[in-house]
Amino acid sequence: MKKIKYNLCLVLMVMFFASCSKQGKHTKHEDAGANTNINKLKSISTDVKMAYIPGGEYKPFYGTDTSLVTVAPYLIDERAVTNQEFLEFLKENPQWRKSQVKRIYADTSYLGKWPSDLELPANALPDAPICQVSWFAAKAYAQSVGKRLPSLDEWEFVAMADEVSPNARKKPQYSATIISLYMEKERQYKAVMKSKPNYWGIYNLFDLIWEWTDDFNSILTTSDSRNSQYEDKNLFCAAGATSSTDVLNYAAYMRFALRTTLKANYTIANLGFRCAKDTTISKAN
Amino acid sequence: MKFLSLLLAVVLFTTSCQESKKQPTETIPSNSIFNLTTQWHNQNGDSLHLNDLQGKTLVVVMIYTSCKTACPILVAKMKTIESKISRKEIDDVSLVLVSIDPEVDTPPHLKEFAKTNNMDARQWTFLTSTEAATQEFANVLAMKYKKISPIDFSHSNIISVFSPNGQLVSQEEGDIDIDKVVATVHETVKKNR
């Protein structure tokens, strides 16, 4: 009897050992898998039309004092990414669902109004722009459709246009119209492409949402305008090289003010995005 | 008696088993920089991921070595911070300088910079990667930077302290208070021992 008990104990011990080491290894393996998954995005397809923008020289609102920046030709989505499109992205890429996203990539209000991982808010239009997504999430989406986020210069380049001309900045109405659009409340819940496109055939640059740009973090000014320039110089190396060149354009100023307050994991109720893409075509057909 | 002691042994093994299980299940926190999967190179040319820095309190700054204005000050501040960390704690600390100029700051270039500046002891790590990875990391630190000419960058001056599991403990921006950083490092090391 004693011998049996003794053997039983031995067997038990071995079993515990085996199960223990197995579990340890298993968890580790899962971790490694989860980590690599973040970069491994499943691609999804989208039928959004892209506009060809020939680029050219333009004067940024903030920039180096020598001013003119050359923008290379590029393609940009005619409209913002929609709720439905983002939902499709989440179906294929669970690591970006609200229950699974890492805090470092998106703050706690990420997709805040969504009742669950794959469910749009009850009253949300499928073709309204997706909002409350972080820069990281926007970037991942763009990558999954084989695109990227537009640079700040690319975004602002098409934003110079009104309905009839590529550069309407000097028209007195230009800034005033945008400001009045910015003032409208709850505008982000409307469907895309219901208003008129601009000169380039691009919709809703101003009337629905604010939009992420790839290099939103390249504006070197403090978010608090009460800070003096002298304080700015301590915060930034070579801050003197960047300053506003178009202070009269208050609409642009508002966009820049917003961008300077953003952090890449922030999510805001009326901040969405559209995608862009490089192009090898240097002249429009 | 023999049976009892064996039983005790089994119990002991199972508890020790549970304890050892804790480590792998204690995964990287959701807000940890170790979630980033980008690949980096250090000054020795070794390829690594950010989670290879796991286990030490990190003092992180982003600079570029050809900078003539604020970066030398930032580098000097990092050196002062290093010198003020107790020698008993220095093995638990990594001082990390991340380049925002991957084109120029290649591993050999960083190695040279480390040697010239007497920053070649074990606690110093210099990192360089691709532009995309650098941009992502800068965004995680909420650091702003812009290339203003082929050789110059404009950037914010931030020194960040991270816990050994990659969570941000504090950031000092602008006029960096060195003693505050040193105190934070000390507390973070103590808490995680």
| pLDDT surpasses 60 at A11 | no
A38 interfacial to chain B (CB closer than 8 Å): yes
Q: Which two tokens stand for residue A18?
A: 């085996």
pLDDT of residue B1: 54
Q: Higher model confidence: residue A29 or residue A264?
A: A264
Q: Higher model confidence: residue A266 or residue A232?
A: A266
A236: helix, strand or coil: strand
Domain B31-191, CATH number (from 3.50.50.60, 3.40.50.720, 3.40.30.10, 3.30.930.10): 3.40.30.10
A27 interfacial to chain B (CB closer than 8 Å): yes
pLDDT tens-digit readout, A103-115: 999 999 999 999 9
What is the residue-averaged pLDDT of chain A?
81
ipTM for the complex? 0.80
pLDDT of residue B154: 82
pLDDT of residue A283: 61
Task: Please list the residues that pair with B156 across neighbouring strands.
Answer: A236
| CB-CB under 8 Å, A103 with B154 | no
| CB-CB under 8 Å, B37 with A38 | yes
Q: Where are the domains of chain B?
A: 31-191
Q: Is the pTM of this model over 0.95?
A: no
| pLDDT surpasses 80 at A15 | no
Distance CA B113, CA A78 (A): 47
pLDDT of residue A238: 52
User: How many contacts does A have with B, using Cβ atoms within 8 A?
Assistant: 131
The alpha-carbon gap from A163 to the nearest alpha carbon of chain B, in Å, equals 32
The alpha-carbon gap from B96 to the nearest alpha carbon of chain A, in Å, equals 19
Q: Do the Cβ atoms of A220 and A236 come closer than 8 Å?
A: yes
A23 interfacial to chain B (CB closer than 8 Å): yes
In angstroms and rounded to an integer, the radius of gyration of the C-alpha atoms of chain A is 25
What residues of B are in contact with residue A234 (Cβ under 8 Å)? 157, 174-175
Q: What is the mean pLDDT of residues A158-182?
A: 91
The alpha-carbon gap from B20 to the nearest alpha carbon of chain A, in Å, equals 8
Along the 193 residues of chain B, how does pLDDT read in single tens digits?
555 555 555 555 554 444 443 344 358 999 999 999 999 999 999 999 999 999 999 999 999 998 877 788 999 999 999 999 999 999 999 999 999 999 999 999 999 999 999 999 999 999 999 999 999 999 999 988 888 777 788 888 999 999 999 999 999 998 899 999 999 999 999 999 8
pLDDT tens-digit readout, A17-45: 444 444 433 333 333 333 334 457 899 98
Distance CA A123, CA A115 (A): 11
Tell me which residues of chain A, numbers 138 to 177, contact chain B at a CB-CB cutoff of 8 Å. none
A36 interfacial to chain B (CB closer than 8 Å): yes
Listed range (A142-146, A182-186, A265-269, B90-94) with the worst mean pLDDT: A182-186
